[in-house]
C-alpha cells in the first residue's frame, strides 16, 4: 500500500485518512502516542516505554490496562479493516510508517510548534520528551536551512586579521618551582589559550611561540618585535596547602602599559568545574579589555588611512555610542571594510550586529528581520566556528517568534564560546519570552557577571526587571529597572517594568508619575511597542498593556 494517511504534527494535531477526510482523534494520549511512534526510527516503541511516557503516575498494571484500551480505541479509528497500520504484541507497539505522510519529517517542515497546545496534566515524562523533541526538530530545521545556503552560494574565505592585534600568552611562573606546580601552571595557560582562541576576532599565538618568553622576566618590546603581538598576558601560579592562586597582568607590548590585572583563587581540593567557571570569566574579562582598547585606538586614527580591521574597530566604537549618528557612522565604516574585503567575516558580523540594533530601535518589519537572519547565516557560513554568527541568527529567530530555533542557535553559540556575554543575555531573553523565568534569570545573571561594565548592561538589567515583574517580585523589578535607567534613561522597557510594578503594588500615583516619565523620555511611545515584544502567546503582552491602561486612566 502507498502512503495514504496524512499526519500533521507541526501546529495543532490533525490526521487525514486515505479518502482525505479528517479522522477525529479526541483522546490526547492517542494523539501523543501516534506522534511518539511517528517520530521514532522504525515506528516502534516498547509497551513499557509508552506506559512510562503516558501514565507515569499510575501503577504498572493500571498503566498497562490504559495502554491496551488506548490501542484498541485507536485501531477502531484508523485501522478498522486490520490492514496493519497499527500493530501491537506483548512487548511492543508499531506504526507502519510506510503508510503515512508526516509533516514533521518532511525536507522542509511547515512552521509551527510540535503538537501545539497538547498538554497531558501531570505527565512529566511526556512533557520532557516533547520539549526535547521540539528542540531536536528546531535544530534539524536550522541545519537544513544552512545546508541550503551552502549549496546556493560559494563559501567565502575567513577574514584576514592583522597581526597588530595578536595576543601572546607568556609562560606562567609557578611557586613552588617544581614539576607538579609547573604542570598546573602550563595546564591553566593551555586552557586559557584555547578559550581565548574561541573569540575568533583575536589571534592568539601558539604556545610554541609565546612560551619562549617567561612571565615577569620578558622584555615586552621584544615580544612585540619578535612575535608581532600587540598584547602580552603574564601570570604567576602559587600553590599553598589550601588553595591555588593565579595573578594575571595584561599589557600593551608597544608601550609596556598595564591594561588589566586580576587575582583569582580556588580551593586546592576544589572541583574542576570551579576552575572552569573562573576561566570562563577570565576569558570574558580579557575579551572586553582588548576590545575596548582597540576601539579607542582606532577612534583616534585618521579614517582615510584605515585598513579593513581598523575600519571595523572604528565602526565598533561608533556603534557603542548608542545613537542614530553613531549607527550611521558605524554602517559607513563596516560597508567600507566590506568594499575592501568582501569576504571579511568580521565585517559581516559587525554589520549584522548593527542591523540587529536597528531592528530593536525601529521595531522593524518581518521582511527586515528575515534579511538580518540571512546576513547572520552568511556570517556563519564564512566562519562556522565563530559563536557570534550563531548568536546573531538566534536573535533574529527571537524577533521572528521562533523560540526553539533561537534557543538552539544560542546554545550552539555558547558551546563555541562560553565566555560570550551577549549570547548568555540573549538566551535569557529567549527563555523569558517563552515563560521560563527562573532559567532566564540565571542566564541574565551570568551575562552580568561576565561583563559588569558592558555598554549593553542597560539592556540586560531591563530584561532582568521584566523577568522579576513577571515573577511578581515587584520591588526587585523596580530596583533593576532604576539601575537600567541610570545607564540609559531613554530605554522604554525598564520604564514599562516600573509602571507595571507600581500598579501591582497599589501605588497608582507613582505608576502615573512613572508613565509621565516614560512619555517624556520616549514621546512616540505607544502600546504598539508592547505588541512588538516577541512573547510566545498573547498573555504577557495583554497583561503589560492592561497595566499601562490602568496607569493612563489615573492620568486622565
The Cα–Cα gap between 133 and 53 comes to 13
pLDDT at 1: 44
Sheet containing 92-95: order of strands: 44-46, 92-95, 86-88
Residue 52 belongs to a domain: yes
The Cα–Cα gap between 444 and 421 comes to 9
137 and 180 fall within a common domain: no
197 and 61 fall within a common domain: no
Neighbours of 349 (CB within 10 A): 27
Give the containing element (helix H, strand E) for 175. Answer: strand 173-175
**Cell 491496551 identifies what position?**
68
Residue 422 belongs to a domain: no
523 and 553 fall within a common domain: yes
Residue 92 belongs to a domain: yes
Neighbours of 310 (CB within 10 A): 21
* CATH at 523: 1.25.40.10
Nearest to 97 by CA among 192, 2, 32: 2
Residue 229 belongs to a domain: yes
Last residue of a domain, one of 280, 306, 332: 280
Host domain of residue 474: 456-556
The Cα–Cα gap between 303 and 333 comes to 9
* CATH at 82: 1.10.10.10
Beta bridge partners of 169: 233
pLDDT at 82: 63
* CATH at 194: 3.40.50.10610
Cell, residue 439: 532559567
Q: Helices 272-299 and 437-450: crossing angle, nearest 10°?
A: 60
CB-CB contact of 171 with 214 (8 Å): yes
Buried b (16+ CB within 10 A) or exposed e, 187-219: ebbeebbebbbbbbbbbbbebebbbebebeebe
Residue 114 belongs to a domain: yes
The Cα–Cα gap between 229 and 167 comes to 5
178 and 135 fall within a common domain: no
146 and 9 fall within a common domain: yes
313: left (phi over 0), alpha (psi -120 to 50) or beta: alpha
Looking at residue 238, the DSSP 8-state letter turns out to be E
Distance of CA 435 to the CA centre of its chain: 16
Whole-prediction pTM:
0.72
**Cell 495543532 identifies what position?**
12
Q: What are phi and psi of 88, to 5 degrees?
A: -150, 140
Q: What are phi and psi of 321, to 5 degrees?
A: -80, -15
115 and 209 fall within a common domain: no
220 and 99 fall within a common domain: no
* pLDDT tens across the length of the chain (556 residues): 455 899 999 888 999 988 888 999 999 999 999 999 999 988 999 999 999 899 988 888 898 999 999 999 998 888 777 668 899 998 999 999 988 999 988 877 776 778 988 888 888 888 878 887 887 777 666 656 555 544 444 444 444 444 357 899 999 999 998 988 889 899 999 999 999 988 888 889 988 889 999 999 899 999 999 988 999 999 999 998 888 899 999 999 999 999 999 998 888 776 677 788 889 999 999 999 998 888 888 777 765 557 888 888 889 988 888 788 889 999 999 999 999 888 888 899 999 999 998 887 777 788 889 899 999 988 888 888 999 999 999 999 999 888 888 998 999 999 999 999 999 999 999 999 988 999 999 999 999 999 888 888 999 999 999 999 999 999 999 999 999 999 999 999 999 999 999 999 999 999 999 999 999 999 989 988 998 888 887 899 999 999 999 999 865 5
122 and 200 fall within a common domain: no
Q: Write the DSSP string, 197-220.
A: HTTSSS-B--HHHHTTSBTTT--H
Last residue of a domain, one of 102, 118, 150: 150
pLDDT at 192: 92
Through-space distance between the first and last CA atoms of the chain, rounded to whole angstroms: 70
175 and 275 fall within a common domain: yes
Strand ranges, E, within 1-43: 5-8, 14-16
Residue 542 belongs to a domain: yes
144 and 169 fall within a common domain: no
Nearest to 399 by CA among 367, 445, 354, 421: 367
pLDDT at 303: 58
Nearest to 260 by CA among 273, 269, 270, 247: 247
pLDDT at 159: 40
Cell, residue 320: 557603542
The Cα–Cα gap between 15 and 38 comes to 12
pLDDT at 503: 95
Residue 445 belongs to a domain: no
Say which residues have a Cβ less than 8 Å from residue 174's Cβ, sequence separation at least 6: 181, 182, 184, 185, 236, 237, 238, 239
pLDDT at 304: 55
pLDDT at 155: 44
CB-CB contact of 118 with 10 (8 Å): no
The Cα–Cα gap between 64 and 33 comes to 14
Neighbours of 304 (CB within 10 A): 5
CB-CB contact of 494 with 514 (8 Å): no
Neighbours of 177 (CB within 10 A): 9
Number of domains in the chain: 3
Nearest to 133 by CA among 100, 92, 102: 102
Distance of CA 318 to the CA centre of its chain: 25
145 and 245 fall within a common domain: no
Residue 545 belongs to a domain: yes
122 and 203 fall within a common domain: no
Say which residues have a Cβ less than 8 Å from residue 242's Cβ, sequence separation at least 6: 267, 268
Last residue of a domain, one of 256, 280, 304: 280
Amino acid at each position: 500500500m502507498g502512503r495514504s494517511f496524512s499526519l500533521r504534527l507541526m501546529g495543532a494535531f490533525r490526521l487525514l485518512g486515505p479518502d482525505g477526510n479528517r479522522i477525529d482523534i479526541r483522546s490526547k494520549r492517542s494523539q501523543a502516542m501516534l506522534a511518539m511512534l511517528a517520530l521514532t526510527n522504525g515506528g516502534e516503541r516498547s509497551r513499557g516505554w509508552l506506559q512510562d511516557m503516558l501514565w507515569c503516575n499510575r501503577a504498572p498494571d493500571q498503566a498497562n490496562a490504559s495502554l491496551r484500551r488506548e490501542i484498541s480505541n485507536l485501531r477502531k479509528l484508523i485501522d478498522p479493516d486490520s490492514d496493519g497500520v497499527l500493530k501491537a504484541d506483548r512487548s511492543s507497539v508499531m506504526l507502519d510508517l510506510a503508510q503515512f505522510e508526516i509533516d514533521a519529517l518532511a525536507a522542509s517542515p511547515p512552521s509551527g510548534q510540535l503538537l501545539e497546545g497538547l498538554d497531558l496534566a501531570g505527565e512529566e515524562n511526556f512533557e520532557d520528551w516533547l520539549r526535547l523533541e521540539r528542540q531536536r526538530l528546531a535544530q534539524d530545521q536550522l541545519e537544513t536551512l544552512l545546508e541550503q545556503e551552502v549549496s546556493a552560494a560559494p563559501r567565502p574565505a575567513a577574514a584576514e586579521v592583522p597581526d597588530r592585534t595578536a595576543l601572546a600568552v607568556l609562560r606562567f611562573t609557578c611557586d613552588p618551582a617544581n614539576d607538579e606546580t609547573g604542570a598546573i601552571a602550563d595546564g591553566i595557560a593551555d586552557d586559557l589559550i584555547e578559550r581565548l582562541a574561541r573569540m575568533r576576532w583575536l589571534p592568539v599565538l601558539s604556545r610554541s611561540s609565546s612560551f619562549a618568553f617567561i612571565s615577569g622576566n620578558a622584555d615586552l618590546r621584544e615580544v612585540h618585535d619578535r612575535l608581532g603581538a600587540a598584547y602580552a598576558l603574564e601570570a604567576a601560579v602559587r600553590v599553598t596547602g589550601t588553595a591555588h592562586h593565579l595573578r594575571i597582568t595584561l599589557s600593551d607590548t608597544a608601550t609596556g602599559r598595564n591594561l588589566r590585572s586580576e587575582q583569582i583563587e580556588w580551593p586546592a581540593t576544589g572541583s574542576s568545574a570551579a576552575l572552569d567557571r573562573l576561566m570562563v570569566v577570565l576569558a570574558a574579562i580579557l575579551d572586553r579589555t582588548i576590545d575596548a582598547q582597540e576601539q579607542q585606538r582606532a577612534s583616534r586614527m585618521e579614517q582615510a588611512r584605515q585598513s579593513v580591521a581598523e575600519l571595523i574597530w572604528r565602526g565598533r566604537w561608533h556603534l557603542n555610542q548608542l545613537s542614530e549618528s553613531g549607527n550611521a557612522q558605524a554602517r559607513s565604516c563596516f560597508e567600507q571594510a566590506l568594499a575592501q574585503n568582501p569576504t571579511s567575516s568580521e565585517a559581516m558580523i559587525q554589520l549584522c550586529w548593527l542591523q540587529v540594533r536597528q531592528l530593536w530601535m525601529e521595531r522593524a518589519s518581518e521582511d527586515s528581520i528575515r534579511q538580518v537572519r540571512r546576513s547572520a547565516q552568511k556570517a556563519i557560513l564564512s566562519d562556522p566556528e565563530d559563536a557570534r554568527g550563531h548568536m546573531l541568527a538566534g536573535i533574529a529567530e527571537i524577533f521572528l517568534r521562533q523560540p526553539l530555533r533561537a534557543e538552539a542557535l544560542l546554545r550552539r553559540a555558547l558551546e563555541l564560546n562560553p565566555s560570550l556575554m551577549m549570547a548568555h543575555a540573549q538566551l535569557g531573553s529567549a527563555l523569558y519570552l517563552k515563560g521560563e523565568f527562573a532559567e532566564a534569570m540565571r542566564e541574565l545573571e551570568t551575562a552580568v557577571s561576565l561583563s559588569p561594565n558592558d555598554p549593553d548592561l542597560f539592556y540586560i538589567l531591563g530584561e532582568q526587571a521584566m523577568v522579576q515583574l513577571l515573577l511578581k517580585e515587584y520591588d526587585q523589578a523596580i530596583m533593576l529597572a532604576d539601575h537600567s535607567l541610570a545607564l540609559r534613561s531613554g530605554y522604554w522597557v525598564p520604564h514599562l517594568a516600573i509602571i507595571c510594578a507600581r500598579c501591582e503594588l497599589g501605588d497608582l500615583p507613582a505608576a502615573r508619575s512613572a508613565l509621565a516619565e516614560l512619555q517624556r523620555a520616549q514621546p512616540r511611545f505607544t502600546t504598539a511597542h508592547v505588541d512588538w515584544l516577541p512573547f510566545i502567546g498573547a498573555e504577557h503582552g495583554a497583561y503589560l498593556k492592561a497595566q499601562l491602561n490602568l496607569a493612563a486612566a489615573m492620568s486622565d
